[in-house]
């Protein structure tokens, strides 16, 4: 089964020009081109486009998207990971929506607000619980015990390593180095090594951590120069970590 470029554009909202650009940069080639130059896409192309649109939705640039696609050949595994991220985001948005519905009902009825209801879904401390649930309380406590066992000199050295990584990420972002490029990927490697000093890292752990950096400004601000918006810097670190994790973990 095949779909023409016009059909794909209509179904996705992407313009024909965008789809042709994806072909020009080697991201999405049509399955065939008709005698009149019409481009057609088969099922494999449709799945690849779905992954491209998902990764773009997560904020990745086209070069980073290409790195992720090339690094993960098992489409089902990749799509399941995308689905997990979307479901988590869907749950968070639904909780916020229900919280707002409840607030509206209580205001209209003249009822007092309950803080737990009004702020459900907005609490960024949820990530501590999420990390514990995802990687286990034992892992969290193991890391805590490891840190307490270090000498003051060792703690200072590890803190400096983390600070150096954060500053190098900021410099790379300011210099316009792409997140998938050699410079950022070397910093990502150092970052993952730094993480491995206190915990067992995995692909899911590193990708999830990158998402947390973006979702919670307390994390993102660690990688941001004073006075600047943390979001672009957190997204840069997330993209670099995602590409590194997809290709190396």
The tokens describing 95, both together, are 């909780």
Q: Burial of 62 by CB count in 10 Å (0-12 exposed, 13-18 middle, 19+ buried)? A: middle
φ/ψ (deg, to 5) at 160? -65, -40
Task: Give per-residue pLDDT as tens, 194-245.
Answer: 888 877 778 877 887 788 778 766 666 777 777 777 788 888 998 899 889 8
Q: In what order do the strands lie in the sheet with 39-41?
A: 3-4, 39-41, 32-33
Task: Give per-residue pLDDT as tens, 173-206.
Answer: 999 999 888 999 999 999 999 888 877 778 877 8
| Average pLDDT score over the chain | 77
> Contact, 180 vs 243, CB < 8 A?
yes
Q: For residue 241, how far is the Cα from the chain centroid? A: 8
Domains by residue range for the chain, with CATH: 3-71 (1.10.1660.10), 124-248 (1.10.490.50)
φ/ψ (deg, to 5) at 33? -125, 125
The Cα 29–Cα 135 span in angstroms is 39
What pLDDT does 196 receive?
Answer: 84
Select the more confidently predicted residue: 138 or 191: 191
Task: Give per-residue pLDDT as tens, 50-103.
Answer: 888 877 766 566 777 787 777 766 777 767 776 776 677 677 677 767 776 776
Element of type H or E holding 33: strand 32-33
Percent of the chain with pLDDT over 90: 10
127 has a pLDDT exceeding 60: no
The Cα 32–Cα 54 span in angstroms is 24
* Other beta carbons less than 10 A from residue 79's beta carbon: 15
What pLDDT does 103 receive?
Answer: 67
The tokens describing 21, both together, are 């650009």
Section 138-160 average pLDDT: 71
């Amino acid at each position: 089964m095949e779909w023409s470029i016009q059909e794909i554009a209509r179904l996705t909202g992407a313009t024909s020009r965008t789809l042709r650009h994806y072909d020009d940069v080697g991201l999405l080639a049509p399955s065939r081109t008709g005698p009149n130059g019409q481009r057609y896409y088969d099922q494999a192309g449709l799945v690849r486009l779905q992954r491209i649109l998902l990764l773009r939705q997560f904020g990745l640039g086209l070069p980073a998207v290409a790195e992720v696609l090339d690094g993960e050949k098992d489409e089902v595994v990749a799509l399941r990971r995308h689905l997990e991220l979307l479901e988590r985001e869907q749950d968070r948005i639904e909780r916020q929506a229900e919280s707002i519905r409840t607030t509206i009902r209580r205001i209209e009825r003249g009822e007092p607000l309950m803080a737990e209801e009004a702020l459900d879904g907005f609490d960024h401390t949820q990530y501590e619980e999420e990390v514990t649930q995802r990687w286990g309380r034992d892992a969290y406590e193991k890391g805590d015990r490891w840190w307490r066992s270090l000498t003051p000199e060792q703690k200072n050295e590890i803190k400096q390593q983390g600070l150096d990584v954060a500053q190098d990420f900021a410099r790379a972002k300011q210099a316009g180095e792409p997140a998938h490029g050699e410079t950022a990927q070397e910093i990502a490697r150092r970052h993952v090594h730094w993480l491995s000093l206190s915990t067992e890292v995995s692909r899911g752990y590193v990708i999830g951590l990158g998402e947390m950096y973006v979702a919670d400004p307390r994390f993102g601000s660690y990688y941001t120069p004073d006075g600047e918006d943390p979001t672009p810097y957190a997204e840069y670190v997330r993209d670099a970590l995602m590409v590194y994790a997809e290709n190396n973990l």
